[in-house]
Structure 1
Amino acid sequence: MAALLITANSLITSPEGGPTRLVSPGFVRVENGVITEVGEGRPDDPADVHLAAGILAPGLVDLQVNGFYGYDMVDADERGWQAVVTRLPETGVTAFLPTFITAPVEVQATALTRAKGLLPRLPAGSKVLGVHLEGPFLSPQRKGAHNQAFLTDPAPDAIATLLETGLVKLVTLAPERDGALDAVRALTAAGVLVSVGHSDATAAQTAAAADAGARMVTHIFNAQSGVHHRDPGVAVQALIDERLHPGLIADLHHVAPEVCRLVFQAAPGRVVLVTDAAASAGMPPGTYELGGEPITMPEQGPPLRADGTIAGSGLRLDEAVGNAVSLGLDPVVAIDAATRVPADLVGRSDLGRVAPGAAADLVWLDDDYRARTTWINGQKVF
């Protein structure tokens, strides 16, 4: 691969051992797909690319993508996977977890096997970091858009079956279900990130899940027990427990703007911006699918089931960053929540940061925080 030198008037960098910060101006030098140097000021040699406006940031990392561009990841064919992988860089996303929602365990296992066969044939694009299984080990009281008929306890044989392909990287479950804490321990031991979600657990039960190894909470405030002064639930523990990282859908519909600000203020450095994007994301209003069931994308707001239940989102991750900044959040904090924090959570310290030794996954965000240009492994892909 050819060497690449990018200079920028504003650059987000995460030096080893130091906090993520904004450098103005700065530069990034890339060789063989890896960042070899990050500096302040201007280098002596001429740049291959100069960015006079916006911000050069790490490529965005999304841990919850049910679908995009008309395709639902769980049953998309090879063409669908190709479309999502090659087009997600348009949104600044350079790595993601395709998310399979609740279905019978054997159906999920088949989908995992199919995905494993597809991955080696995919073209260059956003990196697939593994699969996020959101269910079926969820609470019927907090099922959201999930099919209650398929909800079940996380029995050891079910966990073993789902781990067979080695693709599972994140599992969302309700810790109050029978056998759930043993499942958290087994998944954690297998290197899988466990997230509490679609749960009616108390704060104490959520803390017990963290004791067992859970480190995330799926889409905070949505489909979970919340904040009550005499009956604290999942959301309370997510905000006060420094072991837990609350995922936040910052489309300003799933969570009100004021509450988004609360999440960032209560859990500094722990918030993970996610899209929870459904097949309707990036598409015009109409009818699409989520987990094999129809959802409708309206003119305004998130997609809905026929009964009015929110079913994923139409959010872009660069848009989520912009929304967070519009609430008064420091751009460095907002970008960190969509890059370094999620990458570190899934054990990928080579992603989500602009630092020597990291993969040269970069995005140029304009003044409105929309992706203008995206590089993956130093190659311009958008």
Structure 2
Amino acid sequence: MSLLIREARVITGEPVEIARGWVHLADGVVREAGAGDPPPSVVSAVTDVVDAQEMAGAGALVTPGLVDIHTHGGGGSAFEDPDAAAAVDRILGVHAAHGVTRLVASLVSAAPIDLEQTIGALSAAARPGLLGIHLEGPCLDIDHRGAHDPRALRDPVRLDVDRLTAAGRLVQITIAPELPGALDLIRSFAAAGVRVAVGHTGADAATTREAIAAGATLLTHAFNAMPPLHHRAPGPVGVALADEAMTLELIADGTHVDPSLFAPLFRAAPGRIALVSDAMAAAGVGDGAFRLGGLDVTVADGVARLSGTDTIAGSTLTLDRAVRGVAAAGVPLAQAVAAATRVPARAVGRDQLGLLEKGCRADAVVWTRGLEPVAVWRDGIRLF
């Protein structure tokens, strides 16, 4: 299939913006993108033409497909569900309707044997949109565990890197670096090609720097489940902002982080903010009773909390809403789009995703002027 999307504002995800342009997708990759009218050679080569303004109205926008590297579920399903294939299909479908073409399946803390089994089941249920698995735990600080079951937490010395990496496509793990043996564990996972994130931690600045030196390159949901930024004790956030090697996740739902901080955060770490949903099963469903790992969660007014507590338990956010939220807070749109495309893709080593440039994967989204997705393609195939 060869597709031409034309008559649109185009953001490639670098961020580079074309006021009026076009994108040519064929054989699962981006063939070309340009400004103005497409050349006759492109028009004659395509089998399908989409006029973005006819589809989405005046001010139509085309961006790369969104990439969510921290997602626990959606549509009533979680990645820990017994029927892994059904859960993957449902969750991918729910998030695709919101512009997400690729995502990483995040698992909450559990016994290592259970994590191995879930990694294996999800890997066996591989789909084009599933980039791999993120273990958010179990080596987390108990005092910053958030919505993780304290019974599931483990010391780093009890985690077998070889077994977990052999179980399936493990791409990312969150570790509290102050735990005994954590720095050695970070080195081992980094050496195995797994991206390591600092998170759910009480680490001070010095320990965070040691974690980065050991191979950590991400900060799991910045500001949440970690010490606050303080002028004499910068902690994980301050260190991550200052270190060009670090990508900072941001849950831009207005609950996890106040919207007044969105724009300053982008200015402090240009090109290093990755929007994530941290979505749990309630995303795309609504309020009600759910489970996160082994714990009960109540969702009210779109906010998920551990039942009977004030502890936030993931989110009901979708990544399109995160883009709208940071743009409304004053972040330039091209930067907001890059934070949901190119930046997270690069953070997990997928350089052919998140860009509308020649040779990159043919993942694209057409949006309205109000930033509502109306059409989504993955590998050049229409999803929504």
TM score, norm. by length of structure 2: 0.93
SS in 1 for 2:134: strand
Structure 1: give runs of 5+ residues left out of the alignment. Answer: none
Offset at 1:156? Answer: 6.6
Deviation string 1:268-320 (CA, Å, 9 cap, x unpaired) is 11000000000011112100111122111102434443222100000010100
Query: How far apart in 2 are the matches of 1:369 and 1:156?
Result: 46
Query: Which residue pairs with 1:12 in the alignment?
Result: 11
Q: Which moved more, 1:82-91 or 1:193-202?
A: 82-91
Maintained 8 Å contact 1:156/1:183: no
Maintained 8 Å contact 2:6/2:52: yes
Query: How far apart in 2 are the matches of 1:79 and 1:213?
Result: 35
Is 1:188–2:183 an aligned residue pair? no
Query: Which residue pairs with 1:237 in the alignment?
Result: 239
Query: Which residue pairs with 1:94 in the alignment?
Result: 101
TM score, norm. by length of structure 1: 0.94
Q: Which moved more, 1:309-318 or 1:68-77?
A: 68-77
SS in 1 for 2:377: strand
Residues 1:237 and 1:173: Cα distance change in structure 2 (over 3 Å): same
Aligned counterparts, 1:362-381, within 5 A: 362-381=364-383
Query: How far apart in 2 are the matches of 1:272 and 1:31?
Result: 28
Maintained 8 Å contact 2:10/2:19: yes
Query: How far apart in 2 are the matches of 1:145 and 1:362?
Result: 34
Query: How far apart in 2 are the matches of 1:162 and 1:368?
Result: 43
The total of aligned residue pairs comes to 372
Aligned counterparts, 1:236-315, within 5 A: 236-315=238-317
SS in 2 for 1:284: coil
Identify which of 103, 118, 123 aligns with 2:125.
118
Is 1:85–2:92 an aligned residue pair? yes
Maintained 8 Å contact 2:297/2:304: no
Equivalent AA in structure 1 for residue 29 of structure 2: V
Aligned counterparts, 1:48-87, within 5 A: 48-52=49-53, 53-77=59-83, 78-87=85-94
Q: Which moved more, 1:315-324 or 1:49-58?
A: 49-58
SS in 1 for 2:200: coil
Q: Percent identity?
A: 37
Identify which of 31, 40, 51 aligns with 2:26.
31
Aligned counterparts, 1:143-154, within 5 A: 143-154=145-156
Offset at 1:42? Answer: 0.6
Query: How far apart in 1 are the matches of 2:114 and 2:94?
Result: 27
Deviation string 1:172-221 (CA, Å, 9 cap, x unpaired) is 01000111111111111111110000000001111111111110000011
Deviation string 1:120-143 (CA, Å, 9 cap, x unpaired) is xx5xxx611010000000001111
Moved over 6 A (4+): none
SS in 2 for 1:75: coil
Maintained 8 Å contact 1:253/1:302: no
SS in 2 for 1:355: coil
Residues 1:38 and 1:76: Cα distance change in structure 2 (over 3 Å): farther
Offset at 1:160? Answer: 2.1
Query: Which residue pairs with 2:143 in the alignment?
Result: 141
Deviation string 1:102-158 (CA, Å, 9 cap, x unpaired) is 111111111112212222xx5xxx611010000000001111111112211222752
Query: Which residue pairs with 2:349 in the alignment?
Result: 347
Residues 1:76 and 1:280: Cα distance change in structure 2 (over 3 Å): farther
Maintained 8 Å contact 1:13/1:353: yes
Maintained 8 Å contact 1:303/1:314: no
Query: How far apart in 1 are the matches of 2:112 and 2:247?
Result: 26
SS in 2 for 1:277: coil
Q: Which moved more, 1:324-333 or 1:36-45?
A: 36-45
Residues 1:228 and 1:105: Cα distance change in structure 2 (over 3 Å): same
Query: How far apart in 1 are the matches of 2:154 and 2:311?
Result: 21
SS in 1 for 2:167: coil
Query: How far apart in 2 are the matches of 1:353 and 1:303?
Result: 35
